Amino acid sequence: MIAQVGAEASEALSVIHAEAFPRPWSAAEFARLLANPTAFALMHREGGFVLAWAAAGEAEVLTLAVAPGARRRGLGAALVAAAAGLAHARGADTMHLEVAEDNAAASALYAKLGFVQNGRRPGYYAEDGVHALVMARALPL
């Protein structure tokens, strides 16, 4: 159900991202990110993916997207858990992420997975002035 994908999946990632976010990333942006050897993407066949990186003992979730029609089925949790496992296998001991302060569903998902808030970035999402919550947890999940 979950498979690692590379830059060849950039178009599919951008389509799912566009379904999930009002300001989606382009296929070219995904391809550029995935050209970095520390970055990886995991895709769920039902319509979701996670993009993350792992380097120097740390990992970060760059984006998690689940298509609206595939939500509330555990895809997001499965994708984050799989990314955490891969990051840990690549030597990461911690994983962090930023989530929009007004995204209660995502914050609840991350909290359920053991992430705790350890910071706040005012105006992080500059286009609408929304603050970001910085969350982290030790690996493995």
Where along the chain do its domains lie? Answer: 2-138
User: Quick count: other Cβ atoms within 10 Å of Cβ 119?
Assistant: 11
Percent of the chain with pLDDT over 90: 91
Residues 16-71 have pLDDT tens digits of 999 999 889 999 999 999 999 999 999 999 999 999 999 999 999 999 999 999 99
Using DSSP's 3-state secondary structure scheme, residue 93 falls into coil
The reported pLDDT for the residue numbered 85 is: 98
Whats the size of the chain, residue-wise?
A: 141
Q: pTM for this one? A: 0.95
Q: What ranges in 21-123 are assigned the alpha helix state H?
A: 27-34, 75-89, 104-112
Spatial contact of 41 and 9, defined as CB atoms under 8 Å apart:
yes
Q: Flag whether pLDDT at 127 surpasses 80.
A: no
In this predicted model, what pLDDT tens digit does every residue of 96-109 receive, in sequence order? 999 999 999 999 99
Q: Are 114 and 94 in contact (CB under 8 A)?
A: no
Residue 51 DSSP label: E
Q: Is the dihedral of CA 28, 31, 35, 40 positive or negative?
A: positive
Element (H, E) at 41: strand 39-44
The CATH class of 2-138 is: alpha beta
